[in-house]
Amino acid sequence: MSTATNKIELEPTAIRAWTEARTVFLELTDGRIFGFPADRFRRLKSASEEALKAVEIQVNGYALRWENLDEDITVPGVVAGHFELPPQSTE
């Protein structure tokens, strides 16, 4: 006899955020570590390393906030690959 269970897909949320070498890293509630280049967002691209380090997790893990840069980014958005700027060419 099998039992059916309802599986609810939840959007990714962050429990920790930090930056290293102009990359923003997130530890997600499901255990994944996710990173993206700060240079994919206009305000982050022009920010200093020190300013990038001031990232805070808000809205129960659904948003990243840089108060000093007046920048807000959604966690589900970046995990889905929604960025403001295209990747920089390495050529």
Report d(CA 76, CA 79) in Å as an integer: 5
Answer yes or no: is 45 within a domain.
yes
Number of domains present in the structure of the chain: 1
Q: Per-residue pLDDT tens for 48-82?
A: 999 999 999 999 999 999 999 999 999 999 999 99
Answer yes or no: is 72 within a domain.
yes
Question: Which domain, by its residues, includes 27?
Answer: 14-79
Q: Which residues contact 1 (CB under 8 A, 6 or more apart)?
A: none
Q: Per-residue pLDDT tens for 23-50?
A: 999 999 999 999 999 999 999 999 999 9
What pLDDT, on a 0 to 100 scale, did the predictor assign at position 88? 83
Q: What is the CATH classification number for the domain harbouring 41?
A: 3.30.2020.40
Answer yes or no: is 54 within a domain.
yes
Answer yes or no: is 52 within a domain.
yes
**Is the model's pLDDT at 22 over the cut of 70?**
yes
Answer yes or no: is 65 within a domain.
yes
